[in-house]
Amino acid sequence: MTSESRAGSPEEEIFRDALHRTADALPPLPDLVPDAVREGERRRVRSRGLAVAGTFVAVTAVTLGLALLGPLLRQTPGAEPAAPAPGPSITRPTPAPSPDPTEPVTGMPIPAPSSPPTATPPPSPSSSSSPSFPLWSPPPSPPSTTPPAARTATPHPGATS
């Protein structure tokens, strides 16, 4: 526009009127925001999926490569295997072997029964109340003539294989 045209001039009014008449005949523009948001979400999901897949492939390739090539890379001709570094041991010391082979590995002795178990008499058939029987009875003790080493080798008489 020229310097003569000012806001509210007749030329500007004619120009605005022409623009409005032309734009009124056009259909309204579609809303592109939902499509753009959907496309952005798809791109984001796709890029994250590719990043996860790429990381998985890289970690798997490194792991398999080290598993297959690791022994070959460590061994050099003429080199002896390295000795472990001296330092404090993190393993527990093994206890001294017990003279009694029936003693458990933990080193805690099992108390011997003070008296042999007594059998409970069978319930009388004339009793109308519920039968009474022990809830638990210790296993029968092995004969005393057997040496201790043979006791551990014989299975429990009630056990089934």
Residue 23's pLDDT is what? 87
**Higher-confidence residue: 51 or 10?**
51
Q: pLDDT of 37-77, one tens digit each?
A: 999 999 999 999 999 999 999 999 999 998 888 877 776 66
Biggest alpha carbon distance in the chain?
134
Tokens, residue 74:
């460590």
3-state helix, strand, coil in the chain (%, to 5): 40, 0, 60
Cβ atoms of 62 and 70 within 8 Å: the answer is no
Instruction: Please tell me the predicted confidence (pLDDT) of residue 140.
Output: 76
d(CA 110, CA 148) in angstroms, rounded, equals 14
